[in-house]
Amino acid sequence: MSKEDVLPIHNRVFDSLKEAILLVRKNGEIIKGNNAAQSLLKMEEYTSIFDYLDFSLLTENEESHLLMEQKNNNGKLIEIKSIRVEDNVYCLIMSGLPIHDKTDEVKKYINHLIHASAEGMVMYDNEVIIDCDQKFADMFGYSESEIKNMKISQLMDANSTYKLAEIIHNAPDKPYELTGVRKDGTWFHMEFMEHPYNNLGNIIRVAIIKDITDKVENEKRIEFMAYYDELTDLPNRNFFYKVLGEAIKEAHLNDEMLAVYFIDVNYFKEINDTLGYSFGDQLLKACSNRFKAFLHTDTFIARMAGDEFLILQRRTTNKESAIDLAKSLISEFEKPIKIDDYEMFLSISIGISIYPENGQTPNDLIKHADSAMYVIKEQHHNNYNVFESSISENFKAMLTMESELREALKEGHFELHYQPQKNLNTGKIIGMEALLRWNHPVKAYIPPDDFISLAEKTGLIIDIGDWVLKEACKQNKLWQDNGYSPVIVSVNLSAKQFHQKGLVEKIKNILDDTGLDPSYLELEITESMAMTNEEYILETIQQLRTLGVLVSIDDFGTGYSSLKYLSLFPITKLKIDKMFMNENQKQNQAIVKSIIHMSHSLDMKVIAEGVETIDQLNFLEGEKCDEMQGFYFSKPLPPDKLTKLFKIVG
């Protein structure tokens, strides 16, 4: 190959280029150089590139970019970019840097490479600092004189020192993130860009340092937001999915089981709506702290969303060990939580899925644990449930029912039936309990137990409850307008209804719209609801009583009542749960006696529900129970079937 063969452009054009360009063989033979190159290197004739530069440093890679001392020109510093254009031919593109201002020029050069302003510069030889600028010294809290002759490793943490020696020195010319250590021992994040240059065979290293602490902290913040929940500091669902995926792979390799727990805090929404989001946030933090007590090597805890949490238990030995953790969690939440001036008694519902039996992907295991939780939440609060395949089918049926519930509310498929309540002293009807019925156009009547819990979970209970209240008040006023003796109509309120904002105002508006006197409306709340947040309950009941509405406690004896608060509540009546009317359990009679006597001592009336036999009735009359309702007297009936009963007894 002739010298002309390697030139891709005409000689005249080549010579006119301002950049200094040389074409050199690997053995150092100079093939061709333009006028600028000859001038820069002070070449009188083409000899060997080794007479001018340490060319061997430029042949180690396909492309090289170095600052080098010129051998024949008093160590003049020049910038050289080397590109291999043929198997053994290199193109050198060069520019000069004056020796008298190496530091400034090197800094400008590296700044140009990183396209950003630098904060400080340091030059060091064999790890010993030989020079730096004031900005570099200030960055580390030293004076320039103090920092000279220090080792560069003294300004970094151990990991950064290792990275400098093992990685950066072997691959310079690009920025690396390191951790700097100041004179006072504090640390900061820095961007370190090194550029070596050859000083007559000795490698001098020049580095530009930028303080990027703010940038790194912002990135960490973004990463935290991507993988952690800001309120509780727990990992979020994204992180949980990632960790669960890795745990599944490990369990598969080691032929192990693992368990996923989907946990819901019962009645959280009602508490949040009642006491405000700030209080709710404090409550979630308190709950997360309870969960954190269960953190150990084989558990991973995350916040799913809202009041839902996830726990992964690795290396689960069997189903019983998975259940043991659930029991421990439930036991922990039986202890009261104190926030501000409130003492809260919370409960949780837990669904459990087990790998590989209940799923082999993160999505399936979490979904099935959620389904299992939903089932137990509907049946029993403060309990756990292990996923079974039948739950999936039930869940699909639930989705269908939810759609049908919305349709029922829209198309008017709901009805109210009323069960008469009888005064045991006078024998007269003194009240009616309004009971919701769903008259499905295809399936006929659907029992309330089959859909009320679903309405609660979906929030439909608010709209359905509004309809029940208005319909019951309207019907009671209609009976009065038709000349029947006035009676009290009682309506059950769910937890979601009772804790909704503006409840008292809503009831006042319904009474105004229907024209019913407030004294003929009784609202029933459960014992467990009354004890969930005593102070709020007391305030709401007092507002209802001021309005003139009666309030009773339903299912009394099934929960946990504080007699202190019960005595303060302006309750008009206690309703004995029907489970205590089982005549085959003698201890139940003792409980019923105690409830009746306690109610009378608190100036409350007491009514027994679920009365089905004459013996039950005789027992209640003997214990001076005030009222009763049950199939022995009448089952719940539609309004038109009650007219005759009104005429006979009224």
CATH of the domain at 254: 3.30.70.270
- Model pLDDT, residue 302: 94
What letter represents residue 599's amino acid?
Answer: S
Question: Residue 61, class by beta-carbon neighbours within 10 Å (0-12 exposed, 13-18 middle, 19+ buried)?
Answer: exposed
CA pair distance 139, 141, nearest whole angstrom = 6
CATH number of 498's domain: 3.20.20.450
What letter represents residue 289's amino acid?
Answer: N
The fraction of the chain above a pLDDT of 70, given in percent, is 86
CA pair distance 502, 514, nearest whole angstrom = 19
DSSP state of 3: G
429-447: average pLDDT? 91
Check pLDDT > 70 for residue 506. yes
- Model pLDDT, residue 607: 92
Which of 41, 61, 96 is a domain's end point? 96
Cα 231 from chain centroid (whole Å): 9
Check pLDDT > 60 for residue 100. no
Check pLDDT > 90 for residue 229. no
Question: Do residue 172 and residue 259 come from a single domain?
Answer: no
- Model pLDDT, residue 113: 47
- Model pLDDT, residue 487: 93
CA pair distance 73, 19, nearest whole angstrom = 19
Question: Do residue 488 and residue 618 come from a single domain?
Answer: yes
Check pLDDT > 70 for residue 76. yes
CA pair distance 286, 52, nearest whole angstrom = 74
- Model pLDDT, residue 645: 76
Please report, for residues 77, 186, 349, 456, 522, the alpha-carbon distance to residue 537 in angstroms, rounded to integers and kept in the order given.
Answer: 84, 53, 23, 19, 16
Please report, for residues 180, 433, 507, the alpha-carbon distance to residue 468 in angstroms, rounded to integers and kept in the order given.
Answer: 69, 11, 11
Higher pLDDT, 215 or 46: 215
Question: Do residue 207 and residue 258 come from a single domain?
Answer: no
Q: Parallel, antiparallel, or unpaired for β 348-355 and 383-386?
A: parallel
- Model pLDDT, residue 415: 93
CA pair distance 408, 439, nearest whole angstrom = 8
CA pair distance 242, 244, nearest whole angstrom = 5
- Model pLDDT, residue 116: 44
CA pair distance 73, 7, nearest whole angstrom = 28
Out of 130-139, 401-410, 430-439, the most confident range is 430-439
- The count of structural domains within the chain is 4
Q: Which residues pair with residue 204 across a beta bridge?
A: 197
Q: Are 298 and 315 spatial neighbours (Cβ–Cβ below 8 Å)?
A: yes
Check pLDDT > 60 for residue 14. yes
- Model pLDDT, residue 326: 94
Check pLDDT > 60 for residue 478. yes
408 located within any domain: no
Local confidence band at 251 (pLDDT 50, 70, 90 cut-offs): very high
- Model pLDDT, residue 106: 53
CA pair distance 642, 481, nearest whole angstrom = 15
Domain that holds residue 21: 11-96
Choice among 15-29, 65-79, 631-645 with the minimum mean pLDDT: 65-79
144-158 pLDDT, tens digit per residue, is 889 888 999 999 998
Q: Secondary structure of 27-69 in the HEC alphabet?
A: CCEEEEECHHHHHHHCCCCCCEHHHCCCHHHHCCCCEEEEEEE
Which of 189, 216, 243 is a domain's end point? 216
411 located within any domain: no
222 located within any domain: no
- Model pLDDT, residue 580: 73
CATH number of 155's domain: 3.30.450.20
Check pLDDT > 70 for residue 199. no
Instruction: Spell out where 243-307 has E strands.
Output: 257-265, 299-305
- Model pLDDT, residue 300: 95
553-558: average pLDDT? 71
Question: Do residue 424 and residue 522 come from a single domain?
Answer: yes
Higher pLDDT, 509 or 204: 509
- Model pLDDT, residue 566: 67
Question: Do residue 92 and residue 118 come from a single domain?
Answer: no
DSSP state of 650: -
Would you put residue 126 in left (φ > 0), alpha (ψ -120 to 50) or beta?
left
- Model pLDDT, residue 75: 67
The residue whose two tokens read 């006072």 is 184
Which of 216, 239, 265 is a domain's end point? 216
Question: Do residue 173 and residue 269 come from a single domain?
Answer: no
- Model pLDDT, residue 101: 47
Question: Do residue 92 and residue 132 come from a single domain?
Answer: no
Check pLDDT > 90 for residue 348. yes
Local confidence band at 579 (pLDDT 50, 70, 90 cut-offs): confident
CA pair distance 247, 12, nearest whole angstrom = 68
CA pair distance 620, 637, nearest whole angstrom = 24
- Model pLDDT, residue 114: 44
Check pLDDT > 60 for residue 441. yes
DSSP state of 533: S
Out of 369-378, 465-474, 569-578, 631-640, the most confident range is 465-474
Q: Are 571 and 526 spatial neighbours (Cβ–Cβ below 8 Å)?
A: no
326 located within any domain: yes
Check pLDDT > 90 for residue 297. no
Check pLDDT > 50 for residue 2. no
Q: Taking the CB of residue 206, how many other CB atoms lie within 10 A of it? A: 22
Higher pLDDT, 535 or 278: 278
CA pair distance 317, 296, nearest whole angstrom = 16
Check pLDDT > 60 for residue 228. yes
Q: Secondary structure of 309-350 in the HEC alphabet?
A: EEEEEEEECCHHHHHHHHHHHHHHCCCCEEECCEEECCCEEE
Question: Do residue 90 and residue 106 come from a single domain?
Answer: no
CA pair distance 520, 550, nearest whole angstrom = 8
Question: Do residue 16 and residue 86 come from a single domain?
Answer: yes
Which residue from 253, 262, 263 is spatially nearest to 356, judged by alpha carbons? Answer: 253
CA quadruple 90, 94, 99, 101: dihedral positive or negative?
A: negative
24 located within any domain: yes
Question: Do residue 111 and residue 81 come from a single domain?
Answer: no
Q: How many CA atoms lie within 13 A of 300 on its CB side?
A: 21
402 located within any domain: no
The fraction of the chain above a pLDDT of 90, given in percent, is 36
Check pLDDT > 80 for residue 650. no
Mean pLDDT over each residue of the chain, to the nearest integer:
84
Structure tokens of 172?
A: 């310079």
Q: Are 212 and 179 spatial neighbours (Cβ–Cβ below 8 Å)?
A: no
361 located within any domain: yes
Q: Are 368 and 358 spatial neighbours (Cβ–Cβ below 8 Å)?
A: yes
Backbone angles phi, psi at 272, to 5 degrees: -65, -45
Local confidence band at 4 (pLDDT 50, 70, 90 cut-offs): very low
332-351: average pLDDT? 86
623 located within any domain: yes
Out of 160-164, 217-221, 393-397, the most confident range is 160-164
Local confidence band at 545 (pLDDT 50, 70, 90 cut-offs): very high
Question: Do residue 107 and residue 256 come from a single domain?
Answer: no
Q: Taking the CB of residue 444, how many other CB atoms lie within 10 A of it? A: 8
Structure tokens of 7?
A: 């030139």
Question: Do residue 340 and residue 474 come from a single domain?
Answer: no
